[in-house]
Amino acid sequence: MTGRTALRARRRRAAVLVGGVAGTALRLGVATVVPVSPTEWPWPTFTVNLSGAFLLGYLLSRALAAATPTTLTVPLLGVGVLGSYTTFSTLAVEVVTLSGGERLSTALAYGAASVAAGATVAWLGIRLAERRP
Amino acid sequence: MVTLLLVLAAGGLGALARAEMAAMVQRRARTQRPGGTALVNLSGALLLGALAGAGSRLDVEVVHVAGTGFLGGFTTFSTWMVESVRLAEEGGRVGLGEGMVNLLGMLVVGAAAAWVGSSVVGGL
């Protein structure tokens, strides 16, 4: 690896790390604002996952059209902030927890709604970014 | 306060681990298939399930740092969604099927992984 690529890789890692801290802070912030009830729909996770999927669709679509190879926008905001802001592990555990507590229908609805709405808003983000000049 | 800072730092490290793991998978697989995200998400779901299964046997702050921080930052929903949409859009009719499989398959296998983690550790 040449010196310049090594430097670029280090910068990219630093951007992912800093972005990951910020994304985690945002996720915690949403969790304190959005009320949670262990017996019902996991709104905090649902909120971060859907808003994050929309924003990542938008961001990556914009970046694809505009970016130069050295830009740190995608490592910082995409991989770091939005990657850490959204979570898969919590979703998986919530589905299991809900289905174990005689709320199988809520578990199935929550899992299905997460992927259906998540894919839809990600698609909307991509389309919206493409329509902007 | 100290716990909060540890949670945030762990979230950053989780993001870095995700990026490194995804890059490693991508180099080996030499395809554009989202295998890196799948590996990250499924292993993270297994581990968070294990943490949940341990319950009160673990210190609540440890669970917060490792679960909310590291595994929350490590696993990702947004990348999974965007990659699924791309799979669906770029591969014609086959791609649409692949996108659906990537969505529903990962959800089912992820929940199964969390259940296995929780059951194994919960039964110890």
The DSSP 8-state label assigned to residue A8 in this structure reads H
* Phi, psi values for residue A6, rounded to 5°: -65, -40
pTM: 0.93
pLDDT interval class at A69 (50, 70, 90):
low
* Selected residue of A89, A97, A123 to mutate for chain B interface (largest B Cβ count, 10 A): A89
**Is the predicted pLDDT of residue B48 greater than 60, yes or no?**
yes
Token pair 């990348």 is found at: B79
Q: Check B49 against A52: CB less than 8 A apart.
A: no
Q: Tell me the average pLDDT across B50-59.
A: 93
Instruction: Tell me which chain B residues have a C-beta less than 8 angstroms from the C-beta of A80.
Output: 12, 15
Closest residue to B48, CB basis, from A60, A75, A89:
A89
CA-nearest residue to B20 within chain A is A13
pLDDT per residue as tens digits for the range B66-123? 999 999 999 999 999 999 999 999 877 888 899 999 999 999 999 999 999 999 998 7
User: How many Å apart are CA A124 and CA A112, to the nearest integer?
Assistant: 18
Looking at residues A112-120, what average pLDDT do you find?
Answer: 98
* CB nearest B75 (choices: A56, A80, A87): A87
Q: Which amino acid is at A38?
A: P
Q: How far is B116 from chain A (nearest CA, A)?
A: 10
Closest Cβ–Cβ partner in A79, A97, A115 for B15: A79
Interchain CB distance below 8 Å, A89 and B47: yes
In this model, does residue A1 exceed pLDDT 60? no
Residue A67 has pLDDT above 70, yes or no: no
Give the per-residue pLDDT at A4.
85
In this prediction, residue A128 carries a pLDDT of 96
Half-sphere exposure (CA, 13 Å, Cβ side) for A36?
14
pLDDT value at residue B33? 67
Q: Does B76 touch chain A (CB under 8 A)?
A: yes
State the Rg of chain B over Cα.
16
Predicted confidence at residue A45, as pLDDT, reads: 96
* pLDDT at B77 (0 to 100): 98
Rounded to an integer, what distance in angstroms lies between the CA atom of residue B41 and that of residue A74? 20
> Model confidence over A16-61: pLDDT tens digits?
999 999 999 999 999 999 977 656 899 999 999 999 999 999 999 9
- Residues B40 and A31: their CA atoms lie apart, in Å, by 23
Q: What is the pLDDT of residue B35?
A: 87
A127 Cα to chain B: minimum distance (Å) = 11
pLDDT tens-digit readout, B21-41: 999 998 887 766 678 999 999
Q: Which residue of B has its CA nearest to A11?
A: B16
Question: Is the ipTM here above 0.85?
Answer: yes
pLDDT of residue B117: 97
Short-list B67, B37, B73, CA closest to B53? B67
Q: Work out the average pLDDT over A56-74.
A: 85
Q: Please give the Cα distance from B120 to B47 (Å, whole number).
A: 11
